[in-house]
Amino acid sequence: MEQAGAPQGNSGSILARLRRRLQPASAAADSVGSQVLALLVDNLEGMVFRCILQGGRKLVFISPGCLHLTGFEGKELTQGDGARYPSLIHPEDREMVQGTLEAAAEFGRRYQIEYRIVCRDGQVKWVLERGLAEQRSGGPPVIEGLVEDITERVQAQIELAEAELRYRSIFEHSEIGMYQTTEDGQYLAANQALSTLLGYSNPAELLAGLAARAGQFYVDPARRSDYRQQIRELGRVTGFESEVVREDGARIWVSEDAHAVYDTQGNFRCYEGTVVDVTERHRYEEQLEFQATHDVLTGLPNRNLLQDRLHQAIGLASRAGAKVALAFVDLDNFKVINDTLGHATGDLLLVAVAGRLVACLRETDTVARYGGDEFVLILMGQPGLSDIARTLERIQETVADPVVIGEHRLHVRASIGISVYPDDGEDLNLLLRHADAAMYHAKAEGKGRFAFYTGAFNRAVSERFAIETALRGALAGGEMRMHYQPRVNVAGRACGCEALLRWTHSSLGGLRPDRFIPLAEEMGLIHEITEFVLTTVCRDAAEWGGDAGLLPVAVNVSSRLFADGRLPQLVRNALRQSGLAANRLEIEVTESLLVGNIEHTAKQLRDLRGLGVRIALDDFGTGYSALSYLRKFPFDVLKVDRSFVTECDQCEDARALVRAIVSMGTALGLTVVAEGIERSSQLAELAAVGCAEFQGYLFAVPMPAQDIALWLRRNLAGARLDGPGTLPMPEGAKIRLQRVAEGGSE
């Protein structure tokens, strides 16, 4: 047997070939060649070996590299019969290794094999063995070769394979649609979720279907080029929403996120993306937007959309040199029907009348519900007053036809006032005021009539002048007073109140804020009135004391006050003079504030918040700007408009809208308040969807400062409920509450 460290062999062996390559040019250099050969073998990574296949593998030579590789010295593996190395091979790999060696020996060829060995310290390593088997005449086969450690490479391959397996598993089993495409949009791969989303049975059908429908996937063909442009310029698209066509022809909305994938050399490979179905969200957003611009009951445009429609109409008429008629329609005796037969019957009557108004007009005209039993019509391209008059006569005849609702045969007529652009004004507010004045004149003439606006003999104009005149002296004359209506939680416990301005004139009687506040804004008196309101409210609230002295009080302010930036100073002065804690004052603004100079408005709101004052968004849902700007302003409170609250216990659309508003407000960390609660069923619906606070006649009517202080103290002390309100109250308040309970209004 040959000794380790002294290799010998025939001319074809590995060691012999190494020796020949290092053969010196003369015999004198022979020792140098041997040294180089020994140095080379000793320093190879791995171990060089020579073995004889005779009843197994018997090592006759092994290089020093075996120590680093296996933990054993060369002599430990070659001593005795030299058959110890096979015992280091992993038990699961021994048969395969032995078979490979025997096959190589049988045919005298080279071989290469990967397997595992167990080292002296128990560590398992992957090795690559390469060698040459030679069959000697009359002797057993001899194998010479090299064994290298490839553990890191194998482990990396295993990890890569596992990662690819995990990715494939995620790709195939994800509930989110996933895909890969070429740079020009050809689909390379898709998962089952995307197939299901787009109406295909499996990914193969999806890939074939999309290839066949090239260019017909997006409803709007321009979205394909938009997608390509974005992803080519930015390398990704995020939240790319489009309406697409499923395999069955149905349309859905999807949102795509995608990015470019590059290899390690920086070369483009493909685009990878995900697709989620956002159809339901789009439907909710469309519903919210529709509800913000349309009347919940009739589906007609509301005041917000009316302004936009009239703006368009005036633009068209101005270019064409035509006229636009604005008709203010009020249903005569509707209140009698509503109070006698109930709100449900009244609502059905309004729906029927709305349908008749729409049927009388052309598609280019507009019918809007202005509020209550009032409608506004925009009549486009009217040649003259006689043409307008014929249209209005047809409307009055149609409206006057009996309306059958249940067992009732109802008759209602319409009083109509008309103003004409450009003769009677060039903006919505002026045209509306003139049409409204003409409508009151028509009513005064006997109802069921229509009247064109004239500047001379119009009672409404005279009344307006009277209000304007009286308004200038209202504050100085002590005619304005503050009333307060409490807000409660679901248990009926007071958690704040709202301040409401009341004006009683000696000859004009009681006037609602919506009658005189717009005039005050136009006359430049709104600053003076707001200063009075803030000063009075802060002084009253500071005097409540006890637990009531911890509750916030809300004050409505006009959006006009934000134009000159003076509101923060008004608030600061009122707080300083009264000593009221800033966190007890809540400033209410409406959605009309959220248009125009956004940065200017936001700065003033932040200044108010800097004082410690709370900010509330009032009448939420009546405008369409707040949905996109809600997160940009520092709101603390969200007040759901009473028009949605009114029908939340009767109409599924209103219920869904309220649920969406409450959910959105709560998610944004806002306190959600519902206004106009009149029925226990409304309270139940709103409480069920998580509304935090409530306000309305079901709990209490607005009351003067001395009454609200008593009411709050008794409420917080746990006083019992009394009828439709929460506490005993003046007889007049009970009468108003009883009227509400029977289906009327204050």
Residue 33 has pLDDT above 60, yes or no: no
Q: Residue 199 corresponds to which amino acid?
A: G
Residue 336 has pLDDT above 90, yes or no: no
Going by DSSP bridges, is the β-strand pair 614-620/637-640 parallel, antiparallel, or unpaired?
parallel
Q: Comparing 336-340, 393-397, 571-575, 585-589, which segment has the lowest mean pLDDT? A: 336-340
The CA-based diameter of the chain, rounded to the nearest angstrom, is 140
Residue 746 has pLDDT above 50, yes or no: no
Burial (0-12, 13-18, 19+ Cβ within 10 Å), 60: buried
Per-residue model confidence as pLDDT tens digits over 166-213: 666 666 667 788 888 888 778 888 888 888 888 898 888 888 887 777
Architecture of domain 174-277: 2-Layer Sandwich (3.30)
Residue 744 has pLDDT above 50, yes or no: no
Burial (0-12, 13-18, 19+ Cβ within 10 Å), 56: middle
Residue 737 has pLDDT above 60, yes or no: no
- The fold of the 301-457 domain, in CATH, is Alpha-Beta Plaits (3.30.70)
Q: What is the pLDDT of residue 30?
A: 54
Using the CB atoms, write b or e for 330-369: b if 16+ within 10 Å.
Answer: bbbebeebbeebebebbbbbbbbbbebbbebbeeebbbbb
Residue 474 has pLDDT above 90, yes or no: no
Rounded to an integer, the average pLDDT of 128-141 is 84
14-151 has CATH 3.30.2130.10 classification: no
φ and ψ at residue 672, rounded to 5 degrees: -100, 125
% of the chain beyond a pLDDT of 70: 85
List the chain domain ranges. 14-151, 174-277, 301-457, 477-740
Q: What is the pLDDT of residue 743?
A: 41
The residues near 683 (Cβ < 8 Å, ≥ 6 apart) are 490, 677, 694, 698
Q: What is the pLDDT of residue 154?
A: 87
Rounded to an integer, the average pLDDT of 274-284 is 87
Dihedral of alpha carbons 526, 527, 528, 532, sign: positive
Q: What is the pTM of this model?
A: 0.43
Q: Which residue has the higher pLDDT, 741 or 321?
A: 321
Residue 325 has pLDDT above 70, yes or no: yes
DSSP 490: T
Q: What is the pLDDT of residue 8?
A: 39
**CA 720 to the chain's CA centroid:** 43
Q: What is the pLDDT of residue 730?
A: 39
Mean pLDDT, all residues of the chain: 82
Closest CA to 484 of 719, 683, 712: 712
| CATH code for the domain defined by 477-740 | 3.20.20.450
The residues near 368 (Cβ < 8 Å, ≥ 6 apart) are 295, 300, 301, 302, 303, 305, 306, 309, 375, 376, 377, 378
Per-residue model confidence as pLDDT tens digits over 106-120: 888 899 999 999 999
Q: What is the pLDDT of residue 201?
A: 87
**CA 322 to the chain's CA centroid:** 43
CA-CA distances (angstroms) from residue 687 to 522, 553, 605, 620?
40, 22, 29, 18
Asked whether the beta carbons of 685 and 651 are under 8 A apart, the reply is no
Q: Comparing 208-212, 687-691, 711-715, which segment has the lowest mean pLDDT? A: 208-212
Q: What is the pLDDT of residue 460?
A: 53
Per-residue model confidence as pLDDT tens digits over 41-67: 666 778 899 888 887 788 888 888 899
Going by DSSP bridges, is the β-strand pair 366-371/323-332 parallel, antiparallel, or unpaired?
unpaired
Residue 458 has pLDDT above 60, yes or no: no
Residue 711 has pLDDT above 80, yes or no: yes
Angle, helices 567-578/526-542, rounded to nearest 10 degrees = 30
Q: What is the pLDDT of residue 575?
A: 94
Q: Which residue has the higher pLDDT, 433 or 3?
A: 433
Asked whether the beta carbons of 584 and 553 are under 8 A apart, the reply is yes
Q: What is the pLDDT of residue 71?
A: 92
pLDDT category of residue 592 using cuts at 50, 70 and 90: low
450-459, long-range: CB < 8 A, 24+ apart: 450/327, 450/389, 450/392, 450/393, 450/396, 450/415, 450/416, 450/417, 450/418, 451/416, 451/417, 451/418, 452/385, 452/388, 452/417, 452/418, 452/419, 452/420, 453/417, 453/418, 453/419, 453/420, 453/424
Closest CA to 342 of 247, 397, 406, 251: 406
> Is 174-277 the same fold as 14-151?
yes
Report how many helices (DSSP H) and strands (DSSP E) the chain contains, helices first: 27, 27
